């Protein structure tokens, strides 16, 4: 049997979306690389510039020099969080919501770009937290990263809570830190209740987050995987597209609109 063309695969995904009642989109770092955010494990990923062990919860809390390095993360990325804008893939996911097809986005990303693209905050489940916020590990008070950036620009290096003097930490899940309970349970529930799960830009090797598409399969949902590299679930996909997300997702949405007459 001849291999299907990219256009045929995009048409299949559009058919699945048009016929679906509850679509869950699961996203990883690959959806945000086109916004200029480096991934972690790629040839030019953050792990080529930073030591992954610096992102363990224990080392961050216990070592002042590690904290100072993490607060300079923007320097290693080459841009600040407020400069980052959604790309066509994020916009396409937001279009699914406008069509009434999107149940939710479950994301491993900490950049807040789905919300910035127009997906309602209550429909974005962030399994690994959100770098747009900073939280005191003692009293729980939160600050926006914009506020923290002003402190850093003014010369601060190791940040302390103004309320209790505790350690401030980016509100993202570090290695060795538990996943947020409510978000994880809600992601499991939504994954088990969808009839179509679209994986965009994830290698599906980071657990327990990568369990979500598996819950969808176990409940009888169709699975689409759009990723430029190999994933841990390629053999389980109903449709597999090897490509970057922006152009593919844009073409898929265009086809869905044609099918729905919108």
- Percent of the chain at pLDDT > 90 equals 54
pLDDT digits 0-9 by tens, 48-88: 666 777 778 999 888 898 888 888 776 655 556 677 899 99
Residue 109 structure tokens: 């990303």
Nearest residue to 112 via CA among 177, 184, 175, 170: 170
What residues does each domain of the chain span? 1-37+85-128+179-262, 42-83+129-172
- Measured in Å, how far apart are the chain's first and last C-alpha atoms? 34
pLDDT digits (tens, 9 = 90+) for 201-215: 998 888 888 999 999
**What's the pLDDT at 44?**
60
- Architecture of 1-37+85-128+179-262 per CATH? 3-Layer(aba) Sandwich (3.40)
For the chain, what percent of residues have pLDDT higher than 70? 91
Task: Tell me if residue 128 is catalytic.
Answer: yes
Instruction: Name the strand (E) or helix (H) holding 153.
Output: helix 145-153
> Predicted confidence band at 99 (pLDDT cuts at 50, 70, 90)?
very high
Residue 55 burial by Cβ neighbours in a 10 Å radius (0-12, 13-18, 19+) = buried
Q: Which residue has the higher pLDDT, 132 or 23?
A: 23
Average pLDDT over all residues of the chain:
89
* pTM, 2 dp: 0.89
Which CATH architecture does the domain made up of 42-83+129-172 adopt?
Answer: 2-Layer Sandwich (3.30)
Q: Which of 90, 114, 128, 143 is catalytic?
A: 128
Q: What is the pLDDT of residue 1?
A: 46
Please compute the mean of the pLDDT values over residues 98-124 and round it to a whole number.
96
Q: Which of 32-41, 209-218, 242-251 has the least mean pLDDT? A: 32-41
Rounded mean pLDDT, 7-27? 97
On the question of a common fold for 1-37+85-128+179-262 and 42-83+129-172, the answer reads no
């Amino acid at each position: 049997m001849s291999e299907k063309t990219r256009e045929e695969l995009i048409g299949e995904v559009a058919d699945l979306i048009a016929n679906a009642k509850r679509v869950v989109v699961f996203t990883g770092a690959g959806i945000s690389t086109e916004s200029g955010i480096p991934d972690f494990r790629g040839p030019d990923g953050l792990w080529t510039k930073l030591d992954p062990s610096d992102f363990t919860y224990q080392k961050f809390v216990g070592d002042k020099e590690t904290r100072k390095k993490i607060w300079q993360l923007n320097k290693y990325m080459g841009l600040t969080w407020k400069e980052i804008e959604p790309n066509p893939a994020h916009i396409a996911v937001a279009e699914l919501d406008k069509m009434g097809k999107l149940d939710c986005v479950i994301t491993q990303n900490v950049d807040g770009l789905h919300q910035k693209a127009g997906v309602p905050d209550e429909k974005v489940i962030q399994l690994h937290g959100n770098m747009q916020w900073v939280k005191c590990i003692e009293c729980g008070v939160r600050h926006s990263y914009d506020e923290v950036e002003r402190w850093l620009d003014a010369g601060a290096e190791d940040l302390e809570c103004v309320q209790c003097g505790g350690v401030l930490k980016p509100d993202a899940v570090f290695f060795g830190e538990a996943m947020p309970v409510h978000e994880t349970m809600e992601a499991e529930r939504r994954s088990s209740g969808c009839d179509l799960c679209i994986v965009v830009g994830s290698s599906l090797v980071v657990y327990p987050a990568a369990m979500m598409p598996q819950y969808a399969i176990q409940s009888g949902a169709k699975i689409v995987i759009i990723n430029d590299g190999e994933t841990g679930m390629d053999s389980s996909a109903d449709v597999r597209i090897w490509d970057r997300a922006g152009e593919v997702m844009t073409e898929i949405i265009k086809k869905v609109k044609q099918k729905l007459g919108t």
